[in-house]
Structure 1
């Protein structure tokens, strides 16, 4: 097999410790010519849903790759490690829902394999660092051209662990949607697709008491005012011009936001 020239890498490891470098070292030991694209290593610790959302919104914009993702609060337990094959790349990581949305964004799961091949690991496998000892070397081997079926036995995709679908409800003149992510600018992304704003008009209310305006860019509202817009992932999002919408709304991922016509 020709393999892949790229591995994308997503974790909750942060960058203050050596965890990311150790994983990249494992990749380099197996596939020294493969390049790594770091999506993020600042997923909130153990926040599988946030990691899944960031991964799914990023992978369609990358070259064909092996996508390595490790947000793994169940490391060392009976949870499976898996390799997922899609029409536009491979995904490697824990079977805890982290990979599914990204697999769907890449065209759906063609095949799945449990990562059990001990010959693919590097040295003794730590019970608490499968990213370094299991997932990273597997990603390197796959990028170097190893067939996914060599990872281990085939898995029925229907048995893969899935995250609950985020709540989205469309009513007459309103939408309610779960907060999916909050970015470093304090912008609040909802699970609703931007097309759901159609028909709500320009002047809006958020959560019944915050006045907002439907616009296309941050300058469509004055400083300190709230904007409802279609973000770069084509989701409904909320921002404050020169401010932080997350502070004004006092929400976290998983909360429900209601947007209605004013």
Structure 2
């Protein structure tokens, strides 16, 4: 049984890089099972085995797609007893390992509607390599779903509560301060935080407009401008802004906040009012 509408697009995210033929081999399997399918590569530059980075990029990206299948492979447990799953969420389907990689993206799409374990081996490439499930399991299954196979056709339904989940990033709001952590660092050195603008507004309720803040980092505390754009501060100056994913981010105009502040993913960050805001 197939859905005649199918999905018109399949996105692909991995930690494979592009110097080898791994990505192309997966594309080949996709096209074998869904000729003419449009495949959009989100990225293949996730640091090797960094499930959290893959989950972050995926969650920030998939809401921009129309109804699509998303094949995602950051799988340090390939070949072990970890499950392979397909998650239906908001008209989309996410296919990949059950290691926390897919859940944040499903939540960004409105939440998990149903989850299924990939157990129907007739859908897989044969023989199956113990080290390349991206080519042999996820690519052919994802392509078949994009071509119209209902997610329920891949195997038995699972209780979403039993899916593997990554620890949620720190996000605490109290009177006068918002505490979070670096959620991601992009190639420009911008440090996306686990905090959103509403968290900061709630923390500073009653204060004047937050055009100046204090940021407390592992290396110390310093004042910080809050602005809408990089160019609102001088070259080389740091600032706090709302990034394209709707999260607060530490940035430097023309530079790298990660280098200037000495930050990496998971480092704690606390935002508060600069003293002159509360005088």
Matched with 2:224 is 212
Number of equivalences: 262
Matched with 1:226 is 238
Matched with 2:264 is 252
Displacement of 1:88 in angstroms is: 2.3
Tell me if structure 2 keeps the 8 A contact 1:194–1:235. Answer: yes
**CA deviation string 1:68-92 (max 9, x = no partner):** 1000011000000001112221010
- Work out whether 1:180 is the aligned partner of 2:183: yes
SS in structure 1 of the partner of residue 265 of structure 2: coil
- Work out whether 1:192 is the aligned partner of 2:195: yes
Out of 4, 9, 14, the position equivalent to 2:12 is 9
| Runs of 4 or more consecutive aligned structure 1 residues displaced over 3 Å after TM superposition | none
- Work out whether 1:29 is the aligned partner of 2:32: yes
Equivalent residues in 2 for 1:94-109 (5 A)?
94-109=97-112
Out of 19, 40, 44, the position equivalent to 1:41 is 44
Equivalent residues in 2 for 1:114-193 (5 A)?
114-193=117-196
Displacement of 1:249 in angstroms is: 1.3
Matched with 2:212 is 203
Displacement of 1:35 in angstroms is: 0.4
State the distance in 1 between where 2:90 and 2:213 align: 40
SS in structure 1 of the partner of residue 194 of structure 2: strand
Displacement of 1:211 in angstroms is: 2.7
- Work out whether 1:61 is the aligned partner of 2:61: no
Q: Which runs of 5+ in 1 are unaligned?
A: none
- Work out whether 1:71 is the aligned partner of 2:74: yes
State the distance in 2 between where 1:58 and 1:69 align: 12
State the distance in 2 between where 1:18 and 1:260 align: 48
Matched with 2:92 is 89
The structure with the larger Rg is: 2
Q: Which runs of 5+ in 2 are unaligned?
A: 275-279
Displacement of 1:172 in angstroms is: 2.4
Displacement of 1:170 in angstroms is: 1.5
Q: Note the aligned Cα RMSD (angstroms).
A: 1.1
**Structure 1, 206-215 or 84-93: larger mean CA deviation:** 206-215
Tell me if structure 2 keeps the 8 A contact 1:211–1:226. Answer: no
State the distance in 2 between where 1:235 and 1:123 align: 43
Displacement of 1:37 in angstroms is: 0.9
